[in-house]
């Protein structure tokens, strides 16, 4: 079974930078697209990064994505943290044709 | 701007079949996208259930495949999910979402509909 592992929670102060990791237990995360979704309380998820590094229009450039093939992982970095960034973040990729989500990371902006 | 809206019963009895519909507005379901169902629980997080394409082609999560049926109604611009043999473990917030065939991201999502399995 393909599993994407994320830290359960991270916290950082406003104005700082935080990075959330997403590690695959098999296969190659590099060759499969990785998406990142932001979910605020009571709302549906919205995409902040797709194809590992692409940002949808309307998403601030404070959000960036990267891939590390050596560790089979993807990362979401949020710089200049703002209170509105406090949310759950999920990574998502593929296992053959099956779509798989990470367990989610709760970001707290202190 | 495409919007999705789920509809269906909030309560389902154990062993019964869940039927949900997702209405698509602001765009045509006859387009090059996968129309997906995703569910969310506090314990298991987000779980992709499967997709239906506008021509009726489907692909289901292997872990749920034996219990799922998805269909599309192009005349009504909506798609549907049926999940059989419901148990308490199927209690969840069910979302419909559009997945880009080319960029492989889910956008937009519906607001979600809460389904509880209980007698």
pLDDT at B103 over 90: no
CA distance A58 to A81: 17
Report the distance separating Cα B109 and Cα A44, nearest Å.
6
Q: Which pLDDT score, from 0 to 100, does residue A27 have?
A: 75
Q: Which residue reads 């069910």 in tokens?
A: B94
Selected residue of A44, A88, A100 to mutate for chain B interface (largest B Cβ count, 10 A): A44
Instruction: Provide the mean pLDDT of chain B.
Output: 95
Q: What is the pLDDT of residues B28-80, one digit of tens each?
A: 999 999 999 999 998 789 999 999 999 999 999 999 999 999 999 999 999 99
Assign A33 a pLDDT band (cuts: 50, 70, 90). Answer: confident
Mean pLDDT, range A24-38, rounded to an integer: 83
Testing the interface with B: which of A45, A65, A95 to mutate, by most B Cβ within 10 A? A45
Closest CA in chain B for residue A51: B103
- Chain B closest-CA separation from residue A31 CA (Å): 13
A90/B48 touch (CB, cutoff 8 Å), yes or no: no
Backbone phi, psi, residue B81, to 5°: -130, 135
Over 90: is that where the pLDDT of B108 sits?
A: yes
User: What is the C-alpha to C-alpha distance for residues A61 and A79, in angstroms, rounded to an integer?
Assistant: 9
pLDDT of residue B29: 95
Q: What would the mean pLDDT of A52-65 be, rounded to a whole number?
A: 95
User: Quick check: A63 contacting B, CB < 8 Å?
Assistant: no
CA A4 to CA A74: how far, in whole Å?
Answer: 10
User: CB-based contact (8 Å) between B106 and chain A?
Assistant: yes
Give yes or no for A52 touching B (CB within 8 A). Answer: no
Mean pLDDT rounded to a whole number for chain A: 93
Minimal Cβ distance to A98: which of B46, B61, B108: B61
Torsion of CA A19, A47, A68, A22, to 10 degrees: 60
């Amino acid at each position: 079974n393909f599993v994407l592992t994320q830290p359960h929670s991270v916290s950082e102060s406003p104005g700082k930078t935080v990075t959330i990791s997403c590690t695959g237990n098999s296969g190659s995360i590099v060759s499969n697209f990785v998406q990142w979704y932001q979910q605020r309380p009571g709302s549906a998820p919205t995409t902040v990064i797709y194809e590992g590094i692409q940002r949808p229009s309307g998403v601030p450039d404070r959000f960036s994505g990267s891939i590390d093939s050596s560790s089979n992982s993807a990362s979401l970095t949020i710089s200049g943290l703002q209170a509105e960034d406090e949310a759950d973040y999920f990574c998502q990729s593929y296992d053959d044709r099956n779509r798989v989500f990470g367990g989610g990371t709760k970001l707290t902006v202190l | 701007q495409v919007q999705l809206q789920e509809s269906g019963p909030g309560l389902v009895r154990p062993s019964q079949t869940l039927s949900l519909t997702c209405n698509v507005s602001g765009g045509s379901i006859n387009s090059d996208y996968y129309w997906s169902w995703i569910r969310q629980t506090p314990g298991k997080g987000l779980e992709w259930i499967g997709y239906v394409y506008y021509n009726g082609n489907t692909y289901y999560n292997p872990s749920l495949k034996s219990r799922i049926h998805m269909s599309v109604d192009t005349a009504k611009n909506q798609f549907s999910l049926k999940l059989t043999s419901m148990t308490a473990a199927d209690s969840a917030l069910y979302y419909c979402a559009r997945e880009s065939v080319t960029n492989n991201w889910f956008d937009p999502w519906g607001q979600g509909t809460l389904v509880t399995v209980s007698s």
